[in-house]
Amino acid sequence: MRTRRTMAILGVGLILACCVMIYLMMDLILLPPGQGPKLSMSNNQWLHFENRLAKLEKDFDKHHKVMSVLQEQAAKIKDNFVPVAQPVNRHFNRSDATTVSRAGKGLACNFYAEKVPEVDIQMLELYKQLEFDNPDGGVWKQGWNIVYDEKQWHPNRKLKVFVVPHSHNDPGWLNTFEKYYMFQTRSILNNMVTKLSEDRRRKFIWAEISFFKLWWDDQSKEIKDEVRRLIHDGQLEIVSGGWVMPDESVSHWIAQLTQLTEGHQWLKYNLDYTPTSGWAIDPFGLSPTMPYLLKTSGLENLLIQRVHYSVKKKLAKEKNLEFRWRQLWDTDGSTEFFTHVMPFYSYDVPHTCGPDPKVCCQFDFYRIQNFGLSCPWKIPPKIITRANVAERALLLLDQYRKKAQLFKTDVVLAPLGDDFRYTHLTEWEAQYDNYQKLFNYMNENRHLNVQIQFGTLSDYFEAVREKRNLNEFPTLSGDFLTYSDRDDHYWSGYYTSRPFHKRLDRVLLGTLRGSEALAAIAWARGNDQLVEGSLASRLSKARMWHSLFQHHDGVTGTARDNVVIDYAQKMIMALNNSAHVLQQSIAHLLRTPQVSSMDVEAVYFSLDETRSHHTSVGEKHVLNLGDDKPSRKIILYNPLPRQRTKVQTLIVSTPFVRVTDRRGRSVKCQVSPVWIGPAALSAARYELSFLATVPGFGITTYIVHALHKASYTKEVHLANVTIFNTDISIPSIPGFSHLTILSHTQEFSISQRPELSASFGKSGLLKALRIGNSMFPVHLDFVKYGTRGSGKDKSGAYLFLPDKPEPDVVFMDGRAIIHLVTGPILSRVFLELPHVRHTCTLFNSPGSDGLGLHIFNEVDITETQNYELAMRFNTDIASGDQFFTDLNGLNIIRRQRFPKLPTQGNYYPMAASAYIEDKRVRLTIATAQPLGVASMASGQLEIMQDRRLLQDDNRGLGQGVMDNLLTNHMFTLILERKETNCPFAVPTNHPAGLLSLSGHLASEELLHPIVTLHPHNSLPFNLHAHFSPLRYDLPVDLSIVSLRVFPIPEGAGKGVGMVLHQSALDTCFNNSLLRHLNVSDAGEVDLTKLLNDMEDWTISKAPLTFHNVGPSLKSPVVNLCPHQILPILFHKTQS
């Protein structure tokens, strides 16, 4: 009987399997020509296999009952005969999520494009509603006259007030980090221990771990123990816990995570402490990236301050200043983060107790006469005495009651502090003693129905949660950019200020990440030297210095000149330290078994591009070849977890060279001249370009050989050179004796692949792009803005206040000398314009560098005044008033141009990419450095390049921006045809967007390029030519964001922390160049099969900053949903 039942089940199952096969075969037969069944971006149906299965289920609806019976019978058979292991848990911290399952995978995921997330407040929709007017609100200039009924409070419903003392310490702004510490921060922290210890009712919060660590290192054991007690007893709270309070506009999310991890790691291993609440009072606008990182790191709450005054007023009117902040793609609330917006102008005392600053200022007791500060409203504070305590208490309580009208609970937060406050013991005494007298009076007079005390930020949030269930607060998605604090003063200038240092930040980010990953891989193979002693110290310092620059006056470019120099010097040291560990790791991984030990201070390899000074752009190494050096090896390292093939470029001393791979096979290459002026070529330097392939996280070797001219081979191609617009006789150089020189200019095109070409006008600037057989106008111009005239507020480091809405077009006279270089590997257009040396390049590459037009701008505006330069693209794309920018390189957000906002209010940060699109095509620009971006007309994208400003903009800096440097900007411009009626398109009413695979790869390539190194001639040992640590390549949309060695809590040694990120991509774009690439299937990763040497290690869950170790994974196979960040810790199993 059981046998017949089993045979019946198998028979029906076989019939169903045949039906499925027939269905799929028919579907393949009906595919349009050339669209084979590849798991690639070229075929959206196969990328979204779950949707096909859903369709299949619909087609086979009549079989559902049969399948149900089969499942029941199979379950019975399993129960009766087969002992089965527990099913694999493919979820990670998703137990409470409401999800949609991927058919065929059983993975619970939120499908980005299937549903527009429903929230109570969507910031783009809110912007559409706001008038952005600025009526005078009375004492609360940007609000209204608040009234209340005293009877709303009674003994069973008291007003609860938490006064939270704090001191905002900038790790660099008007002074350097170290100078601030020496003259202010050290005293603040010293006095904190003294004054908090005197009275257990006193409380204080602190944010910046960079300062705290510096202070901690100087303290005795007794002081350290007392600090631990203060934290344990709740008198001292560390908020956020990051190395700095980071910028949230132009910083990259990987750098944000690095500074957060540095802080959390320090707190764990010095104080055994994990923060609960975030504190972001000074970043100039807020991004949803940071709450996502904080939540994934284990925090629960967040306070923010710098939000557009019109937005604050709207939220306050509706008592929505506290909300559950969701990610743009979140449909189930799994990313919600409880957030409080401070309602008034600033975080200083006059703007935190209530709506009337002239009253609140009277309760900043450091402004008592003779302390050096005063109230601008000319009413000074009064020392609290028995004679005046009643009157003063009622005056202050009135402000607290008015502030309470803006929130849903009867709990009031009143921060008490400002920049570098509590430096002197006298301020501690003045603030704490006078406030305690006020507290005593209010609490003792029960008819006032108030409970008031000093508190920490988490004290406040705990009280709010006791009053209301979080589900009673609204949900919100979007960001709080661009910030304006008053009038039309939009803080969009800092998106571009000091672009040299913004570029240096990204170079350091890529080098540091690549170095950490390779050191972790080498350590996993038993090379302990790389994570101990001096090498570990080098990496630690590099992380700290890079993290320091993420401060909201660092990467923003809003510090004084001498502080900017200090930041740059620290970043150069961090870059050198990272490079040293990188080359040491390569030496350890390539050394032969005969090498037993190595000198950790030795330099075995040099990076191809180095910076000799903190003001220098990258300078490429010259590979000298000749009779005495007939061949030279180069080492290539790929810091991404998949094999890459791309064009690599070297500078060599002779044009007569050829390239071979590690097996001696010749590699096609191209030699191009190097220009040293508009009409001069270098006879000592040539550009060698060739295609190289490097395994994921791997290392490989190529060899460059010098040739005699007579032995010139077909593998080497000397580029063809044409020069337009000159009559100058250009001296010939070896290999390039026949140059085509034309006295006129003309339109021309360059192409490297049949699918893509670029056309240029007589000016030498881009005119159009062709994809396939279709030509699309893409006009590139440079434009400039001035600043407002005399008597008006002007642009400065923070503010962008242009002289007129429409900038002037520059460089259009067509008289520039144009250089055209063509060859089998690359084609390039170069022209030298006033303030810009502009280059456009197309590569003949099967890799991601073959996807678009590469733009390189060398910008130098040091001879200008009140000048802001932008690069603008005009197209016929019907984008209307919509465009898209990234959020810290993590997600994409929809933007809208509003005529009701000025030009500066329509500018947004572009940390990594931006795009415009219509139903036909999309134009994406990926950037190697953060800058400001706007779309001031339909079909237009405008990217600011640099800004030079004579004056201060009255935001505290006290100077203009006049320290401009020669700056290199790198972009990749990608034009893609959109699939008609694509079923997987992001809905037009969705508040976010998605990069295409091409856009994603282009952005990734700019941030994490292949690293070229040169072995030193005096290497004391032999090297292997190749190293590959991965067992398989990760899909292109699944990234290993970081891979580094961490200490494991409780003294359990070290482990390797891996952060995985599953990108969500827009699959409505086809590119034949990408058909060979593997796109993730449900984000599945078998962790034991990923990295060699770690297959037998224990794998555990962890918070994002690895300050704790979670439970071991039941299965090494993990699945990531789109957008998900997944931290994993590998550690050696204890024997």
pLDDT band at 23 (very low <50, low <70, confident <90, very high): very low
Say if residue 746 is exposed, middle or buried (CB neighbours under 10 Å; 0-12, 13-18, 19+): exposed
Contact status, residue 44 vs residue 1068, Cβ threshold 8 Å: yes
**Mean pLDDT on 972-994:** 93
Q: Is the pLDDT of residue 946 over 50?
A: yes
Rounded to two decimals, the pTM is 0.89
Nearest C-alpha neighbor of 53 from the set 102, 99, 89: 102
| Dist. CA 502–CA 496, nearest whole Å | 8
Tens digits of residue pLDDT in 225-234: 999 999 999 9
What domains can you pick out in the chain, each with its CATH number?
156-480 (3.20.110.10), 485-617 (1.20.1270.50), 621-718+1007-1027 (2.60.40.1180), 749-995 (2.70.98.30), 1034-1134 (2.60.40.1360)
More confident residue, 1015 or 709: 1015
Say if strands 680-694 and 808-810 run parallel, antiparallel, or are unpaired: unpaired
Q: Identify the residue whose tokens are 């034309």.
A: 742
- Buried/exposed code over 319-342 (b: 16+ C-beta within 10 A; e: otherwise): ebbbbbbbbbbbbbebbbbbbbbb
Summarised one tens digit per residue, pLDDT across range 708-722 is 875 666 677 999 999
How confident is the model at residue 917, as a pLDDT? 97
Label residue 13 by pLDDT band (50, 70, 90): low
Q: What angle do CA 185, 458, 546 make, to 5 degrees?
A: 45
Residue in 316, 402, 421 with CA at minimum distance from that of residue 359:
402
Whether 207 and 279 have beta carbons less than 8 Å apart is answered as: yes
CA-to-CA distance for 688 and 670, rounded, in angstroms? 6
- The angle formed by the CA atoms of residues 467, 473 and 474, to the nearest 5 degrees, is 175
**Does 997 score more than 60 pLDDT?**
yes
Of 739 and 59, more confident:
739
Measured over all CA atoms, what is the biggest interatomic distance in the chain, rounded to whole angstroms?
Answer: 103
The rounded mean pLDDT for the chain is 89
Q: Is 324 helix (H, G, I), strand (E, B) or coil?
A: strand
Nearest CA to 1047 among 1098, 1107, 1091, 1095?
Answer: 1107
Residue 599 tokens, joined: 């000198």
Closest CA to 1085 of 1028, 1128, 1048, 1054: 1128
C-alpha 236/C-alpha 228 separation (Å) is: 9
Nearest to 102 by CA among 1130, 1129, 1120, 1124: 1120
- Determine the Cα angle at 792 with ends 789 and 796, to 5°: 85
Q: Report, as an integer, the average pLDDT of 31-54.
A: 36
Instruction: Give the mean model confidence (pLDDT) for residues 686-710.
Output: 93
Query: Mean per-residue pLDDT for 696-714?
Result: 85
For 1067-1089, what is the mean pLDDT? 81
DSSP state for residue 184 in the 8-state scheme: I
Query: What are the tokens at 1038?
Result: 């699944």
- Tokens standing for 726? 């000159």
- DSSP annotation of 63 reads G
Residue 612 pLDDT class (50, 70, 90 cuts) = confident
What's the pLDDT tens digit per position in 883-930?
999 999 999 999 999 999 999 999 999 999 999 999 999 999 999 999
Q: What is the mean pLDDT of residues 136-157?
A: 95
- Listed range (422-426, 491-495, 954-958, 1016-1020) with the worst mean pLDDT: 1016-1020
Instruction: Compute the average pLDDT of residues 987-1011.
Output: 96
| C-beta separation of 857 from 837 below 8 A | yes
CA dist., res. 1046 & res. 1025, Å (int): 29
The pLDDT of residue 831 is above 90: yes
CA nearest 946: which of 560, 501, 616?
Answer: 501
Question: Helices then strands (H, E): number in the chain?
Answer: 20, 54
Torsions phi, psi of 221, nearest 5? -60, -40
Return the DSSP state at 571. H
**359-385: average pLDDT:** 92
Q: Is 866 left (phi over 0), alpha (psi -120 to 50) or beta?
A: left
Report helix, strand or coil for 65: helix
Lookup result for tokens 């046998």: 3
253-271 vs 289-296: helix axis angle to the nearest 10? Answer: 30
Percent of the chain with pLDDT over 90: 76
Tokens in use for 770?
A: 């062709």
Closest CA to 341 of 501, 483, 128: 483
Q: What is the pLDDT of residue 984?
A: 87
Instruction: Supply the pLDDT for residue 109.
Output: 66
pLDDT 10s digits, 314-323: 999 999 999 9
Q: Which helix (H) or strand (E) holds 39?
A: none
pLDDT in tens, 325-334: 999 999 999 9
Q: Tell me which H or E stretch contains 582.
A: helix 561-590
Looking at the chain, how many residues does it have? 1135
Which residues, including other chains, have CB under 8 Å from residue 799's CB and lie 6 or more apart? Answer: 489, 490, 491, 492, 493, 793, 904, 953, 955
69 pLDDT more than 50: no
Quick one: pLDDT at residue 1093?
A: 80
In 196-336, which ranges are E strands? 204-206, 236-238, 277-280, 301-304, 322-326
Q: Say if residue 482 is preceded by a cis peptide, omega within 30 of 0.
A: yes
* Higher pLDDT, residue 210 or 64: 210
- Bridge partners (DSSP) of residue 948 are 867
Mean local confidence (pLDDT), 663-674: 95
Query: CA–CA separation, 948 vs 786, rounded Å?
Result: 10
Work out the average pLDDT over 492-503. 98
CB atoms within 10 A of CB 1125: 18
- The owner of tokens 């026949």 is 738
- pLDDT given at position 51: 43
When mean pLDDT is compared across 592-606, 740-754, 771-785, the lowest value belongs to 592-606
844: β partners: none
- Which residues are catalytically annotated? 282
Instruction: Please give the helix or strand (H or E) that residue 774 lies within, else none.
Output: strand 774-785
User: In the structure, what pLDDT confidence band is assigned to residue 165 with cuts at 50, 70 and 90?
Assistant: very high
Q: What is the pLDDT of residue 1005?
A: 96
Q: What is the pLDDT of residue 1076?
A: 79
CA–CA gap between residue 253 and residue 891 (Å, rounded) = 10
pLDDT at 7: 52
Note the pLDDT tens digit of each residue in 1025-1039: 999 999 989 999 999
Token pair, residue 70, equals 């089969």
Residue 976 has pLDDT above 70, yes or no: yes
- CA distance readout (Å), 553 to 252, 421, 523, 955: 15, 18, 36, 12
Q: Tell me the C-alpha to C-alpha distance, in Å, between residue 793 and each of 309, 953, 954, 1118.
A: 18, 7, 8, 55
Note whether 325 and 307 are within 8 A (CB).
no
**Which two three-digit tokens encode residue 939?**
């079909």
Structure tokens at 341: 């917006």
**Can you tell me which residue has the tokens 């006009």?**
779
Which pLDDT score, from 0 to 100, does residue 90 have?
27
